[in-house]
Structure 1
Amino acid sequence: MISIITSMFVGLLGILLYLIIKYPDRSIGTNARPDLTGPKGLPIIGNLLEIRKKELTNFMYDVLMEYGPIATFTFPGLGRFITINDPESIEYVMKTNFDNYIKTPGGRVRLLDLLGDGIFNVNGQMWKFQRKLASHLFYGKNFREIICVVFEEDTKKFLKIMEEKVNSGEIFDLQELFYRFTLDSFGKITFGLDFNCLANLEKPVPFAAAFDFAQAVINRRVTNPYLWKFKEILTKEGRKMREACKYLSNFAYNIIKQRRNDPEALKDTRDILNLFMNAEYENGEKLTDKELRDIILNLIIAGRDTTAQELAWMMYNLMVNPTIEEKLVKELNSLLSEDNPIPKYDDIKQFEYTQATFYETLRLYPAVPRNVKLCLKDDKLPNGIPIYAGELVNWSSWATGRDERVWGIDAKIFNPERFLGSEDGLKPSQYKFTSFNCGPRLCLGQNFATIEAMTLATSLLRKYKFERMPGQKSPPDFGVSLTLPMKDPLLVKVHRRN
């Protein structure tokens, strides 16, 4: 018996030594890439410990700043990452040879219980089908007749809440209010559903709490690719995750059920949910309730989270940059008045400094801080660097926005005027300014998000000044999520402007 145990131990030790020799500085299963620079990893586990210590977005930033614009690292269970940070390479991957770089199967599995087969979690024909239908929401006529009408209605509600908070002197979380605003607006525009978040400030929003929790759990799965399924079976977090996903699914199914039971509502051709419910595949079949559920939750993550977070980051940067705020308010006073306190659709383009401030916020605080694709066939980047089938190509909008090689020596400084005095125009190349993604996957809702943020921000900042409460970290940390929320509440007081 002892000899058997000894033999097994010696055998395992031999296998371990073999793996250490074969993978001396990278994760198991990856090929050596001596032609690329990057942080040296540990035998078998590669850069696992560094990534877990720093968080993936921060780790990628450090790698690109030290080794970029193209670098590499490895992670067990995921493989070798080729991290790119130059606009030419990003354009090649996201446009020129788009079909060779797809969403990763592992990433799809991690997102499956929340996003299912929705637009953010599929490739190929299913993605094209959903994107084509969703694009109908963003026609110019819809902006005038539906979208901007809702934005104006909810902005009036938000301004009324600000007046109450001025009178009470209350300290409150501004980011939380922005979440309520965007969820209310998007629910009405997309599903004809009023979440009543702004009408019931004293009540928590169960949908939002479940959604935020599920996103945080999914983000943590990235750094635990082997064991997250087993861990979630056994832990309290896993049980809570299953409950959250069940709640979100039931919520979406109830929306679908109510719509099916209302034939008159189904006739509204401007409603995006109706477009999907009435759509047919090439074989004549309609979408199932499960497919509609996935689409609803994917749309909400785009319509609620991203704009609310950008508004919060924008307000923070204005509070810590009073000179920029002063210039912005000067523009608002020249274009708005007591008789015209909320801009109309055709007025938005006049607010150039405000829009530049919003884009500068997106540059430094992109709603989706990183992205990754799987290479299907051996390929070469424009600079001649090979990418082999099975390797992962990733980039970080967070890092790109802070890279002096891309944005100049003041890349880390919040400066809206870079968008006004630049030869690129108000919004530069999408492969340099990747905050709305780029190529065929360019964000359908970029104008929607911009107009929503501009409508609320212009109306709000003309009338009110925000005071950030002391004791908060500056700049704030971002939270663990699929997107880029502030980790902690943005605690403020609001005052009327003189």
Structure 2
Amino acid sequence: MEYGPIATYTLPGFGRFVTVNDPESLEHVMKGNFDCYVKGDILYKILYDFLGDGIFNASGDNWRMQRKLFSHLFNVKNFREIICVVFEEETKKVLAILDKLAESGEPCDLQDLFYRFTLDSFGKITFGLDFKCLTNPDEPVKFAQSFDFVQGELGKRLQNGFWNITELFTKEGRRLPEECKYLTEFSYQIIKDRRNDPETTKKPTDILNLFMNAKYDNGEILTDIQLRDVILNFIIAGRDTTAQALSWMMYNLMVNPSIEEKLVKEVNSLLSDEEQIPNYDTVKQFQYTQATFYETLRLHPVVPNNFRVCLHDDVLPNGTPIYAGELVNWSSWAAGRDERLWGKDAKIFNPERFLNSEDGLKPSQYKFTSFNCGPRLCLGQSFATIEAIMLATAALRKYKFELLPDQKSPPDFKISLTLPMKKPLLVKVNHR
């Protein structure tokens, strides 16, 4: 094969794809020749109904401006004084729910519980809004239901080049605009409430305030439409990805008891009755737990597939020609299982690989792509890692989780923009 193990294919309505499957080529696309590879009109139109011109759907100056503003949130002061304080508050609520379930013996849907935890946490940190998901754990959350439905339908668009036609003839396709309208109106209400409360807008650490007070280079402020995009883009980043990663992590621990034993041993050595939940200064000590979280993301990346559009003719480092208008795609899901990258045990869940390798817990972003890479490297990597470690360690110290006998293993995942489990992750909760 002239260019090595590389695949190309054509999808009607999309065009020709060239699959990038080595770190060197991915680094070229996502960093070395970054301005040549953009999200493009195809992806933009697929996601626009939901994400608008938010950071995940934006390119060029609009993306750069948003990224610069977002970066101001993730500093040590905010982590210590705001972010981790909220994480601790919400973790205590999760522990109280688990305590009741352990006493009653009722099954627990861990994925739903984690969704509630991350939505409540993110709502408070970024918008000062309490969704009260954990306050009423048995009640459905309309916002979350609409959010999940829209994501699922947009995920289907990525596999259907003629979605703008076929959606006219399906029940789900006709429902999609209604759900997008609900999410939009919900977001506008948040913005309206904030504008009607001048004192609240003075908080510099609030993401919404940060953007409401921001100005473009020409002095213009963001419109309500642009602020809506900020809200919806950040919720998908803060709620879905971490909740799904926690779900896959807990599943992998339940089916790998020897790994769970090592993790719990670390937890018991670092936590106590006096400190039942790690804080910002101690969370970094949980090396094995972080390795387990990363190993989960290696095999279950929350954004399993991605692609870019080539603006002008280019050549990859391995000699593969890419022509203007063609799409370059890569799969973090496939890369995580590639023996050429991870060795013969690539398909085995083994957290030690992140502790015993030269890279350790700072692997190459072009090999371990679960947090994206290059200039678009995830700004919330530390946010998600700290959130997951705080909740997982506190829960595993007190409780042992067992899959229900009829729980499918491994769980199926459903079509979406991210990687949710298709069905509830039902477990029995026991006191340790």
TM-score, length-scaled by structure 1? 0.86
> Structure 2 residue aligned with 1:409, among 322, 337, 344?
344
How far residue 115 of structure 1 moved from its aligned partner, in angstroms, is 0.5
1:260 Cα deviation from its structure 2 partner:
0.2
- Give the structure 2 partner of residue 54 of structure 1: none
1:173 to 86, 92, 109: 109
- Find the partner of 2:31 among 69, 72, 95: 95
Matches within 5 A, 1:40-189: 69-189=5-125
Residue 329 of structure 1: aligned partner:
264
Counterpart in 2 of 1:421?
356
What is residue 485 of structure 1 aligned with on the other side?
420
Aligned pairs for 1:129-278 (under 5 A) are 129-226=65-162, 228-278=163-213
Amino acid aligned to 2:142? P
State whether residues 11 and 161 of structure 2, in contact with CA within 8 Å, keep that contact through their aligned partners in structure 1. Answer: no
Cα deviation, residue 104, structure 1 = 2.2
Q: Which amino acid aligns with 1:495?
A: N
Give the letter for the 2:382 counterpart.
N
Instruction: Write the letter of the residue equivalent to 2:294.
Output: Y
Provide the C-alpha distance between the structure 1 equivalents of 2:395 and 2:97, rounded to a whole number of angstroms.
11
Q: What does residue 494 of structure 1 align with?
A: 429
1:435 aligns with 2:354: no
The alpha-carbon deviation at position 235 of structure 1 amounts to 2.8
Distance 2:252 2:340 in 1: 23
**Alpha-carbon contact 1:118-1:295 (below 8 Å) kept:** yes
Measured against aligned partners, the alpha-carbon deviations of 1:217-271 in whole angstroms (never above 9, x if no partner) come to 1111122222x22332343212211111011001100000000000000111111
CA distance in 2, matches of 1:354, 1:283: 46
Separation of aligned partners in 2, 1:35 and 1:124: 34
Distance, in Å, in 2 between the alignment partners of 1:35 and 1:243 is 50
1:82 and 1:394 in contact (8 A); partners too: yes
Superposition pairs of residues 454-473 of structure 1, within 5 angstroms = 454-473=389-408
Is the partner of 2:428 in helix, strand or coil? strand
Task: Return the offset for 1:169.
Answer: 0.3
Contact 1:465 1:495 in 2 (8 A): yes
**Is the contact between residue 136 and residue 272 of structure 1 (CA under 8 Å) also seen in structure 2?**
no
CA deviations 1:115-144 (Å, max 9, x no partner) are 000000011000001111111110111000
Any idea what SS the aligned residue of 1:371 has?
strand
Which is higher, the Rg of structure 1 or of structure 2? 1
What amino acid is aligned across from residue 143 of structure 2 in structure 1? F
Matches within 5 A, 1:302-313: 302-313=237-248
1:380 aligned to which of 295, 300, 315? 315
- Equivalent residue letter for 1:158: V
Q: Where does residue 409 of structure 2 map in the other structure?
A: 474
**1:342-366, Cα deviation, whole Å (9 max, x unpaired):** 0010101111100100000010000
The one-character-per-residue Cα deviations of 1:380-425 (angstroms, maximum 9, x if unpaired) are 1111111111111000000000000100000000000001111112
Q: Find the aligned partners of 1:225 and 1:437 in 2 and give their Cα distance.
A: 25
Deviation, 1:35, is: 6.0
**Structure 2 unaligned runs (5+)?**
none
Q: Deviations over 1:156-199 (max 9, x none)?
A: 11101110001110012110000000000000000010000000
Q: Is the 8 A contact 1:101 1:374 kept in 2?
A: yes
Q: Which has the higher contact order (CA 8 A, sep 6+)?
A: 2
Q: Which residue of 1 aligns with 2:255?
A: 320
Percent identity for Structure 1 against Structure 2: 71
Distance across 1 between alignment mates of 2:82 and 2:272:
24
Q: Which residue of 2 aligns with 1:362?
A: 297
Alignment of 1:443-458 (within 5 A): 443-458=378-393
Contact 1:152 1:342 in 2 (8 A): yes
User: Is the 2:191–2:224 contact (alpha carbons within 8 Å) kept by the matching residues of 1?
Assistant: yes
Alignment partner of 1:434: what SS?
coil
Normalising to structure 2: TM-score of the pair? Answer: 0.98
3-state SS of paired residue (1:196):
coil
Tell me the matched-pair count: 432
- Aligned to 1:345, the other structure's residue is in SS state coil
Give the distance between the partners of 1:92 and 1:224, measured in 2 at CA. 28
CA distance in 1, matches of 2:413, 2:334: 14
Cα RMSD between the aligned structures? Answer: 1.1
1 CA distance for matches of 2:392 and 2:351? Answer: 15
In structure 2, what is the Cα distance between the partners aligned to 1:90 and 1:254?
41
Residue pair 1:69, 1:86 contacting (<8 A) in 2 also: no
Q: Do 2:24 and 2:317's aligned partners in 1 also have CA atoms closer than 8 Å? A: yes
* Equivalent residue letter for 1:373: R
Instruction: Note the C-alpha offset of 1:69.
Output: 4.0
Paired position in structure 2 for 1:56: none
